A and B are shown apart, each in its own frame.
Chain A
Amino acid sequence: MILNVQNLSVTFRSKSGIVHALKNICFSLGKGEVLALAGESGSGKSTIANALVGLVPWEKGGAYELFGEKINPYQKKSFSIVRSKMQMAFQDPYSSLNPRNTVMEIVAAPLLAQGISKNEATAKAKKMLDLVGLSNADTQKFPHAFSGGQRQRIGLARALVLEPKILICDEITSALDVSVQAQILHLINDLRSELELSLIFISHDIDVMEIIASRVLRLKNGEIS
């Protein structure tokens, strides 16, 4: 197992009270596996994804192991190791890309954040954009110049440029038309074999999950059902 999560709980506190978004979630992910997280809105699918990359705080008592290495989920620093091995692509291709940055700047940003030189980052970003099917001429354009499917390709390139081994796809085809959805599903499958990726695939569409996933984890009210 390349990923092992034990007793993951997340609680949100707001003026209206406490919400137990996740309660003692335990699961693991094997090499090359596509694990689907299924459930209704609010069942906790995206919260699991956000907790794995450190975007929401864990409640006490959880344990997290990535490629055999113990990760301390209570220390912000430990997630920089996680993010070099695990990346995320988001649902809405319109709001997940900075409209003021060029495609090149967007895709090279994670490399620069990891301290890689600009020249090397540009070269790697170009290679990744080529792999997801965007041309060299596209690199200097801004996100508004692209359709939803192409923006999703940019999002995937940004997620994969650090060469992670695990990719979390958070409803990445929900905002797309069916013909574009088919293109993206094929692209993900090709990238999975080419880059030896394991996937955590979040979706509410049972038909899409059946097509892409090897195992399904069903969630209801923050618990595995």
Chain B
Amino acid sequence: MNSELLSVRNLSVAFNDVQVTDKVCFDISCGEIFALMGESGCGKSVSAMAIPRLLPHPSAKIVCGEIILEGKNLLELSSKDMYEIRGKKIGCVFQEPMQALNPVVSIGTQLLEAVRFMPKENRLKRIKELLAKAQFKDPERILKSYPHEMSGGMLQRIVICIALAPKPSLVIADEPTTALDANIQTAVMDILKDMCKSENASMLLITHNAHLAAKYADRIAVMYAGQIAEIGKTSDVFNTPKHPYTKALLKVVPSKGKTLSDLKPIPGSVLSPKDFDNGCRFRFRCEFAKEECKELRIENGELRINDKKHWSSCIL
């Protein structure tokens, strides 16, 4: 069995004293692609950005929890140590490549900044190696270019190179292909996956796209209203979903061969964080909800570290 790289335990985050995620727990093994899947506002980006401690300050606060990367609890580190962790251990790929890059600095300079922790003589070699892996045919020209001279897909490949340049052990990819055209999404995801594999990095993939999660992730956590509803191997979650939310979600995803009557809309809408209580947060929209759902749900924290079983928070 693969060894554990990252363990997020009981992570709760509050924005302006309103708790938005509740006791989120998941583990990522070395070399694994783990997806956090869910709809807007369910807390997937907040949970992911808490790992490199990139949540907006001072509005966001980590209420409780542990984030253990390679045995170190990141929440106990000083800002200086954290700066080094971000530069060496964790790479980030964000949704908008144009906003992730500095428009007035050449691509070469931005790539060099990402390898600043390496010995000087190895830096250029490393950059060219990455550009080749990201399938850039003319690296010399790319290094001299500026972001506005490149397409969205090319820019995202540069961002991937920057994220992987310091040989991180974890890459957090937050909706990496959402801003790209459908036809280049697969190409960019393939490059991201292959590069993570060849660099021995694990990937935390944040996505709202079930097709993407199904195709690329080894394991998936489905989030709803700030909590993990279901977690398991990708094939288990998609073939035999346990939580009523996952079941309902998979029914509304358009796919080949489905007709409009096959898409069964989920009634109602997501609760506002102000209305969160201790019961199951999906009970208002759930066709199987019972009286006891008001009080009970299975805590995600009960999952032991390195427990890879197929788990759901539903008590039914």
Contact = CB atoms under 8 A, between A and B. Distances in A.
Contact of A185 (B183, B256, B260): B260
A181 interface: yes
A186 B254 contact: no
A194 interface: no
Contact of B39 (A178, A183, A205, A211): A178
A182 B263 contact: yes
B260 A211 contact: yes
Contacts of B255: 207
Given A178-B252, A179-B265, A208-B254, A40 B260 contact: no
Contact of B182 (A178, A180, A205): A205
A211 B210 contact: no
B266 A40 contact: no
Contacts of B248: 179
A213 to B, nearest CB: 11
A220 B269 CA distance: 38
A178 B269 contact: no
Contact of A178 (B181, B183, B253, B259): B253
Given A147-B269, A183-B265, A206-B182, A178 B210 contact: yes
Contacts of B256: 207, 210
Given A40-B183, A41-B181, A206-B182, A149 B269 contact: yes
Given A40-B181, A40-B183, A179 B252 contact: yes
Interface string A188-225: 01000000000000001111101110000000000000
B254 A211 contact: yes
A185 B264 CA distance: 11
Interface string A152-188: 0000000000000000000000000111111101100
B208 interface: yes
Contacts of A180: 39
Contact of A204 (B182, B252, B253, B269): B182
Contacts of B252: 178-179, 181-182
A208 B258 CA distance: 9
A177 B223 CA distance: 14
B265 A177 contact: no
Contacts of A189: 260
B39 A182 contact: no
Contacts of B293: none
A189 B249 CA distance: 20
Given A147-B269, A185-B263, A207 B258 contact: yes
B40 interface: yes
Given A147-B269, A177-B39, A179-B249, A212 B182 contact: no
Nearest to A41: B181
Contacts of B253: 178
Contacts of A185: 260, 263
Interface in B234-270: 248-249, 252-256, 258-260, 263-266, 269
A34 to B, nearest CB: 11
Contact of B266 (A148, A179, A205): A179
B188 to A, nearest CB: 14
B249 A40 contact: no
Nearest to A179: B266
Contacts of B260: 185-186, 189, 211-212
B35 to A, nearest CB: 15
Given A40-B181, A212-B260, A207 B208 contact: no
A212 B248 CA distance: 20
Contacts of A205: 182, 254
A189 B248 CA distance: 20
A186 to B, nearest CB: 6
Contacts of A204: 181-182
Interface string B159-191: 000000000000000000000011100000000
Q: Which of B40, B182, B256, B265 counts the most chain A CB atoms within 10 A?
A: B265
A88 to B, nearest CB: 22
A205 B210 CA distance: 14
B210 to A, nearest CB: 7
17 contacts: A41-B181, A178-B39, A178-B208, A178-B253, A179-B248, A179-B249, A182-B263, A182-B266, A185-B263, A204-B181, A204-B182, A205-B254, A207-B254, A207-B255, A211-B254, A211-B258, A211-B259
CB-based closest 7 A-B pairs: A207-B254, A182-B252, A177-B39, A182-B265, A182-B263, A183-B265, A179-B266
Interface of A: 40-41, 147-149, 177-183, 185-186, 189, 204-208, 210-212
